Amino acid sequence: MFCKNCGAQIPDGSVFCTECGTRVQEEPVQEEPVAQEPIQEEPVQPEYVQPEYTPVEQPVYTAEPQPASGDLNDTPILITGILAIALCWTGIGGLICAIICMSKVKKFLAAGGVLAGKAKVGKILGTVGLILSILYMVFWVIYALYFIILAIVAAAGGLSNYSSSYWY
C-alpha cells in the first residue's frame, strides 16, 4: 500500500503514513442510531390485601383483695403518730401516744393489713415521737438532778465562797 500524499510505501492496514503522518485510511462511517420512541410499560399496581383483624387481649388491673375485717382502719395509727410528735416535748404524754401507736401498728399488721399510706406515715411519726419523748425525758431528768445536787451543795454550805446570793 502507498501513501496518497507522499507516495511512500506503508504496510497494509496502517492508518497513518510513517513518512509524512497523513491519514491513509478513512475511518468507517458509523451510522447514527435512529431515534426510537421508548416503549412505555404500564405500571403495575400492587394488589392491596386487607389485613385480618386479630383481637388483642387487654390487660386488666385487678386490685389486691383486702380482708373484710373491721380492724384494718389505718386512721387511728396516723392520729396517734401525730399526737406522739405533738406531745413529745412533754415527755410522758408523747411516750404514751407513741406506745399506743406502736400497739395499733402491731394489731393492724396481725389483721393482714399492708403497711402503706396512712399506716406507714403513722408508724414513722410514732417512732420519731417515741425517740424524741425519751430524749426529752432524759434531758429533764438530768436537768432536775443538776438543780437538786446544786441545792444540796448550797444547803450544806458548799457555796459560801461565792459573794453572789444567786446559786445556779
Per DSSP, the three-state class of 92 is helix
Q: Which of 30, 131, 27, 111 is nearest to 70 (CA)?
A: 111
- Residue the block writes with cell 425519751: 134
Say what the pLDDT of residue 65 is: 64
Kindly give the confidence (pLDDT) of every residue in the chain, 168 residues in length, as a single tens digit, with 9 standing for 90 and above: 778 888 888 888 778 888 888 887 655 556 666 667 777 778 888 888 888 888 888 888 887 765 554 547 888 888 899 999 988 888 888 888 998 989 998 988 888 888 888 889 999 999 999 999 999 999 989 999 998 988 888 777 665 555 555 555
Indicate the pTM of the whole model: 0.48
At 44 the pLDDT is 81
d(CA 3, CA 18): 9
Indicate the SS3 state at residue 42. Answer: coil
Q: pLDDT value at position 2?
A: 79
- Helix, strand and coil percent figures for the chain, each rounded to 5: 45, 0, 55
- The ranges assigned to domains in the chain are 75-155
Please tell me the distance from the alpha carbon of residue 150 to that of residue 146, in angstroms, as a whole number: 6
Task: End-to-end CA distance of the chain: give it in Å, rounded.
Answer: 145
